[in-house]
Amino acid sequence: MSILATSHHHHELPDTPYNLWMRDELADVLDLPHDGTRVEIIGGEIIVSPGPDYAHNVIVRTVNEGFLAAKLMNSGFPWRCVQTQDLNLSEIHDGYIPDLCVLSAETDEEARVAQLKKVLPPHLEFVLEVTSPSTASYDRLPGKKRVKPTKWNGYARVGIPYYLLVDRDPQAAQTTLFTEPVPASGEYRESMTWAFGEAIKLPEPFGIEIPTGEWEPWQRGQG
């Protein structure tokens, strides 16, 4: 299930969706339950989605563990992970909640000490999104199901260097790493793809391998 409030509904809100999201008031204005439901601004639209299922969370955990294992093996490993962190894309007035954010150790410490509620794109080196049936079209490249800007466009627009998209659609069941963002056009120039079951080999500056043997597509008819 997902709820979409498009721009023609904005006059019903006491402020713009982005401003309400920035003040952490949007969920209350929409009277959303406090049960893990997420509210994001994607392409200027309010997107509400339920909390993810367990298989989705296992994928996020596996990627997180890949970074953690590298840190445990090498105390100088410079990357840290944080889950479900609000990301303020102030340049385009969007607000996302990536499944996983990767920051440098230095930036991670600065954000922790400052007790940031929302991080900014320059803080991040890498983001992960795992698709769900109700929101997959918002994570992918624009297509038939959504021609307006998606997170793929937004992450490129604000210059996030690496965007890892795990697509659980049974017709895809693949992972794609997008690189070389072009902020002017909101596109990524390069990508590399792995099927489920293949180990993901993240290039430098990460240089880690992530197993995908436990990853499962969502069940047909799920949504």
Class of domain 52-210: alpha beta
Beta strands in 1-153 (DSSP E): 3-5, 38-42, 45-49, 79-83, 87-89, 94-96, 100-104, 124-130
Q: Tell me, what's the pLDDT at 219?
A: 87
pLDDT tens for 173-192 read 999 999 999 999 999 999 99
Residue 132 has a pLDDT of: 94
Looking at the DSSP assignment, which residues form a beta bridge with residue 187?
Answer: 182
Dihedral (CA of 73, 179, 92, 168) sign: negative
Tell me whether residue 184 is exposed, middle or buried, using C-beta atoms within 10 angstroms of its C-beta: 0 to 12, 13 to 18, 19 or more.
exposed
Stated as kind and residue range, the H or E segment containing 166 is strand 162-167
Parts of the chain with a pLDDT under 50: 1-11
Q: What is the pLDDT of residue 221?
A: 62
Q: Is 70 helix (H, G, I), strand (E, B) or coil?
A: helix
Q: What is residue 222's predicted lDDT score, i.e. its pLDDT?
A: 56
113: Cα within 13 Å, side-chain hemisphere: 6
Give the pLDDT of residue 2: 41
Residues of the chain within CATH 3.90.1570.10 domain(s) are: 52-210
Rg (CA), the chain: 17
Using DSSP, state whether 159 is helix, strand or coil.
coil
Secondary structure class of 11 (helix, strand, coil): helix
Structure confidence at residue 10 (pLDDT): 44
Q: How far apart are CA 155 and CA 157, in angstroms?
A: 5
pLDDT at 121: 98
pTM exceeding the 0.75 threshold for the entire prediction? yes
